[in-house]
Amino acid sequence: MVTSMLRGQAGLRSELARIELRLRRIARQDRICRLTMSTPGVGAVVALHVKAGIDDPARFRSSKMVGPHFGLTPRREQSGERDVVGAISGAGDRSVRTALFQAATVMLYHSHPKNWLKAWGTRVAQRRGIGRAVVAVARRLAVVLHRMWSDNAPFRLTRSTADGAAA
């Protein structure tokens, strides 16, 4: 019985590898996906999710609107004098939000050490904790990917002073 289960697992792994290879091929052929994959932590699956989630970058007046669109802002409960800021709102496409979380986690733990977004996320983690830092980096990553798509510009590891803190 164990041998049958192991053969089934091997078959599933083989099929998963075939699907992943196909997704990588699709992402490499797409100009927008190649552009977004220049960001540390963003692979083929994340790039395809973000492209499908945003669909048309012109539908957002500002890149800052992308984070809330995917539910990456704090949920607020207000009643009279009570104002509770809770976890993320969870609005929008769950799969894109999950992909952005995964990319933010990879960025914070495994990306290039001179990356400005990782440095910013590390500072947030020191002040607020790693959980909130991952959410903050995911939100910021959504903004950056939208701006990259809108401007047709690759990710830069360092920020110029002209960029300021608004990005």
Q: Does the residue 11 lie in any domain?
A: no
Spatial distance between the Cα atoms of 27 and 131, rounded to a whole number of angstroms: 29
Q: Does the residue 19 lie in any domain?
A: no
Q: Does the residue 99 lie in any domain?
A: yes
Count up the domains in the chain and report the number: 1
Q: Does the residue 121 lie in any domain?
A: yes
pLDDT digits (tens, 9 = 90+) for 16-68: 999 999 999 999 999 999 999 988 889 999 999 999 998 888 888 888 888 88
**Residue 75: what pLDDT?**
62
Q: Does the residue 65 lie in any domain?
A: yes
Q: Does the residue 76 lie in any domain?
A: yes
Tell me what percent of the residues of the chain surpass a pLDDT of 70.
86
> pTM of the predicted model, to two decimals?
0.78
Provide the domain limits for residue 83. 31-151
Band (pLDDT 50/70/90 cuts) for residue 161 is very low
Segment (H or E) for 82: strand 82-88
Q: Does the residue 44 lie in any domain?
A: yes
Q: Does the residue 14 lie in any domain?
A: no
The answer on pLDDT for 87 being more than 80 is no
**Mean pLDDT of the chain, nearest integer:** 85
DSSP 37: T
pLDDT digits (tens, 9 = 90+) for 140-152: 999 999 999 988 8
**Residue 5: what pLDDT?**
94
Spatial distance between the Cα atoms of 54 and 68, rounded to a whole number of angstroms: 12
Q: What angle do CA 68, 134, 101 make, to 5 degrees?
A: 65
**Residue 74: what pLDDT?**
67
